[in-house]
Amino acid sequence: MDFKYRLQNHFLKFKTPFAIAHGTRDGTDIVLLYFTAENITAIGEASLPPYLIETKESVHEFINSFFNDFKFTADLNHCLDYLQQYKSGNYAAKACIDIAFHNWFASYKHISVWQLLGLKNTPLPPCTYTIAMGAPDLIRQKVKEAAGFRMIKVKLGGEHDKQIIDTIIDSTDTPLCVDVNQGWKDPDFALDMINWLAERKIVFVEQPLPKSDKNGQQWLFNKSPLPIIADEAVQTIDDIDAVKDFYHGINVKLMKCGGISPGLAMIQKAKSYHKMVLIGSMSETSCGIMAAAQLSSLANWVDLDGPLLASNNPFENVNYENGVLQI
Ligand code: MG
C-alpha cells in the first residue's frame, strides 16, 4: 500500500519555567510525524526532554531510515512487530511511529485506539495536575489552577520540600502524590520524609532515591508506609523483573518504552506481579497525551496533564471532565 510521511519539529513551551530535581527548563523538543495512506493522515509524536539520549536529529534519522525500508500493509501487528525489531534503542522515535500507526488503523476502522486494543469501556481513574517546585506564591497560584482536578502531583527533591507540601495542604484538600525525581540521596532521610508525608496522607511517592541505589531502595521499600513507584528506574519491559521486589508500582511512559504496544505489554507484565501502574508522560502535545490516555483504563493513576502546562500545544487541547481525561 502506498504511503507518504513528513516530519515537523516543534518546541513545546512551558507556560511557566518548569523546575524539578534535575533542573529547570523552558520547553521540550518535539518531533511530529504525519503519516498518510488511503487518504487518511495519522499523527505521531516523539518528545525529547534533554535528559534522554535521543535528539531531534536522531529521531529524524531513525524515522527516515525506517520508512526507507518499510513496506506498508493493512496489518497492524505486522507493522508493529517490524517497528519494534527495527534497530535497538530509539524509544521515542519508535513511540512516534507506533502512535501514528495506532491512530491510522483506528481511523481506518472508524474506532478509537482503545477499542483497537480490545480494551473495555470502564470508568477511568482521575488525572493528576502537576505542580513543579517553586516559591509559596507560585505554588498557591498553581493550586488555584488545579481546581477541578481530583489529585495533585507535586515535584519534590529540593531544599524546601516540607514548605511546598505545607503550602499546598493549607490551600486545598485535594489528595496529593509526590515525585522526587531521584532527588533524595540518603535512604534514612528519604524514610524520614516518607513518614512525614504519610502523616499528611500523601497517596504515593515516585522515585525517591537515585535509580542506582538498589540497596537503599530495597531497605526503603521494606520500611515505607507509602507505596513507592519506580519511574527513572524502569524504562522498558526488560527492567520490570529487576525492580519488582523493591517498588510497589511502575510509571509507564510511551516515550521511555517505545509506544502504545510496548506500554500495554509493560502494564500487563506489571499487573501479573500485582504491581500498581501509573501512566505518565514527558512534556507532550495532545497527540502523545491522547495516545497514552488510551491505556488509562488499565492504570491505578493517570498523570497526563502535559498539555495544560504548555503554552503552544499545536493541537486542540485535551478535555478533562471532573478531573478525568476524556478518551
Ligand atoms: Mg517521574
Q: What is the DSSP string of 104-142?
A: HHHHHTTS-HHHHTT----PPPPBEEEE-S--HHHHHHH
CATH number 3.20.20.120 given to 128-325: yes
Contacts with 223 (C-beta within 8 Å, 6 or more apart), sequence order:
191
The residue type at 264: L
Name 127's bridge partners.
Answer: 302
C-alpha cell at 36: 498518510
pLDDT at 16: 84
pTM of the entire predicted model: 0.95
Query: What is the 5 CA–ligand 1 centroid distance (Å)?
Result: 32
Query: What is the 233 CA–ligand 1 centroid distance (Å)?
Result: 10
Query: What is the 102 CA–ligand 1 centroid distance (Å)?
Result: 25
* Contact present, 96 and 31 (Cβ < 8 Å): yes
Query: What is the 69 CA–ligand 1 centroid distance (Å)?
Result: 35
Phi-psi region of 180 (alpha: psi -120 to 50; beta: other; left: phi over 0): alpha
Query: What is the 179 CA–ligand 1 centroid distance (Å)?
Result: 6
Query: What is the 181 CA–ligand 1 centroid distance (Å)?
Result: 6
Domain ranges, ordered by start, for the chain: 4-110, 128-325
Query: What is the 211 CA–ligand 1 centroid distance (Å)?
Result: 12
The DSSP code sequence of 141-155 is: HHHHHTTT-SEEEEE
Query: What is the 180 CA–ligand 1 centroid distance (Å)?
Result: 7
Q: What is the C-alpha separation between 134 and 163, in angstroms, rounded?
A: 10
Query: What is the 165 CA–ligand 1 centroid distance (Å)?
Result: 17
Q: What is the C-alpha separation between 317 and 73, in angstroms, rounded?
A: 32
Query: What is the 227 CA–ligand 1 centroid distance (Å)?
Result: 14
Query: What is the 253 CA–ligand 1 centroid distance (Å)?
Result: 10
Query: What is the 107 CA–ligand 1 centroid distance (Å)?
Result: 32
What CATH number does domain 4-110 carry, 3.30.390.10, 3.40.50.740, 3.20.10.10, 3.20.20.60? 3.30.390.10
The residue type at 312: N
Query: What is the 50 CA–ligand 1 centroid distance (Å)?
Result: 15
pLDDT in tens, the chain (327 residues): 999 999 999 999 999 887 877 788 899 999 999 999 999 999 999 999 988 899 999 999 999 999 998 999 999 999 999 999 999 999 999 999 999 999 999 999 999 999 999 999 999 999 999 999 989 999 999 999 999 999 999 999 999 999 999 999 999 999 999 999 999 999 999 999 999 999 999 999 999 999 999 999 999 999 999 999 999 999 999 999 999 999 999 999 999 999 999 999 999 999 999 999 999 999 999 999 999 999 999 999 999 998 888 999 999 999 999 899 998
C-alpha cell at 265: 505489554
Query: What is the 79 CA–ligand 1 centroid distance (Å)?
Result: 30
Query: What is the 75 CA–ligand 1 centroid distance (Å)?
Result: 34
Query: What is the 278 CA–ligand 1 centroid distance (Å)?
Result: 10
